[in-house]
Amino acid sequence: MPEVLPRQLVFRLSDPERRLAGVRLQQDVRLPGEQLGFTRSEDGTWELRVPRPGVDRMEYSFELQHEGGGSEWVTDPANPARTRGAFGDKSVLEMPEYAPPVWLAAHPPRGPRRELALTSQSLAHDVPCVLWAAEGLDDAAEAPLLVVHDGPEYDALASLTLFLDAMVADARLPPLRAALLAPVDRNDTYAASSAYGRALALGLVPRLRREVPTGPVLGMGASLGGLAMLHAQRAHPGTFAGLYLQSSSFFHRYLDGQESGFDGFARIAAFVDGVTRSTTTPEAVPVVLTCGQIEENVDNNRLMTSALQAQGYDTRLVENRDVHTYVGWRDTFDPNLVDLVQRVLV
């Protein structure tokens, strides 16, 4: 296992046959690139000492550089702790301060789910959806609806419906439903696309309302999915009664130059600039934003929080000691998502 020292982390990789030309640490916790190369000792063990980053848990992998050329990314063979991610498994190092959410160990009654294909005249493709409902919720009963971008990944990688099941079982949330929307070409449709925003507000959400009796509708998303939710709410007042936005990609011309090569950057930056410069809003709704304290998006999320608050949104920013990961997003659900639903229902 890696060593966690008061000010350092120590990683080691055994290579007694000296097959490797080099090893580098792959991470997203803002460690400088020049500090990530391992040093090989006389017995063939590769070792790296880095400053302890400002997070309570760290996802990482090793880049193995082969003598004959080429490289590959692998998990740490000395560390059995793993986490699934959108781009494969990573090793996990938990600091002494970290504790997983209590609800992860719960065994609540699990709610039923069914698959739908949602259509809209504004989109050339169907949007796959998994419609979840709290256990025991009558099909004819009206209930709040949580519409979630990247919903199937949220469920698989952040245990979203387990959380909802647990909160309903504990009576911290009322019986509700969630529409887990799968992305289709997310780098385009979630990047402040007017066509997608129109489809979401005027096609997908109304279809869901026809499918099940629906009270207030809340929107949820992370990264580009969070950006797309705010974009739709601004363009189509009355669609969402509240928003839960995590590490949203509120790319700003001056704060996020490193993202300027992304195809949707100009469109996103224009939208963000319009929101942050506006002095009014068509409809202010309760909003929770969450973001890692040291991730690249934190400054643009702070800027967006201030802008929305100035326009009358009941906006709260939660910064946690993680970065741009599904587990980091999961760890903020309680109590923040519960509080948002309760504020909307008051």
Structural domain ending residue among the three candidates 94, 115, 133: 94
> In the predicted model, what is the mean pLDDT of residues 220-239?
98
- My answer on whether 84 and 122 are in the same domain is no
43 with 24, same domain? yes
Check whether residue 138 and residue 82 sit in a common domain.
no
Residues 333 and 188 in one domain: yes
Question: How, if at all, do strands 39-40 and 46-51 pair?
Answer: antiparallel
What per-residue confidence (pLDDT) applies to 121?
84
64-98 pLDDT tens trace: 999 888 999 999 999 999 998 777 899 999 999 99
Condensed to tens digits (0 to 9), the pLDDT of residues 237-290 reads 999 999 999 999 999 999 999 999 999 999 999 999 999 999 888 899 999 999
- How confident is the model over 184-213, as pLDDT tens digits? 889 999 999 999 999 999 999 999 999 999
Q: Domain check: are 67 and 8 in the same one? A: yes
Q: What is the pLDDT of residue 287?
A: 98
- pLDDT tens for 131-154 read 999 999 999 999 999 999 999 999
State the residue range of the domain holding 281: 102-345
Q: Which pLDDT band holds residue 156 (cuts at 50, 70, 90)? A: very high
- Domain count within the chain: 2
DSSP character string of 165-229: HHHHHTTSS-S-EEEEEPPSSHHHHTTT-HHHHHHIIIIIHHHHHHHS-EEEEEEEEETHHHHHH
Residues 328, 260: Cα–Cα separation, whole Å? 25
Q: Is 212 found in the same domain as 135? A: yes
- Examine the domain organization and report whether 40 and 157 are in the same domain: no
CATH code where residue 286 lies: 3.40.50.1820
Q: Of 94, 111, 130, which residue constitutes the final position of a domain?
A: 94
**For a pLDDT cut of 70, what percent of the chain falls above it?**
100
Pairing state between β 177-181 and 127-133? antiparallel
Do 121 and 68 lie in a common domain?
no
Specify whether 29 is located in the same domain as 89. yes
Q: How far apart are CA 243 and CA 219, in angstroms?
A: 5
Q: How confident is the model at residue 346 (pLDDT cuts 50, 70, 90)?
A: confident
Helix ranges (H only) for the chain are 151-158, 160-169, 186-189, 194-199, 205-211, 224-235, 265-277, 298-310, 326-330, 333-345
Q: Are residues 221 and 328 in the same domain?
A: yes
- Residue 69: the pLDDT is 85
11, 139: one domain: no
Are residue 198 and residue 271 in the same domain, yes or no?
yes
Q: Can you give the pLDDT at residue 47?
A: 98
Residues 96-130: tens digit of each pLDDT = 999 999 999 999 999 999 999 999 888 889 999 99
Query: What are φ and ψ of residue 40, in 5° steps?
Result: -95, 135
Q: What DSSP character marks residue 240?
A: -
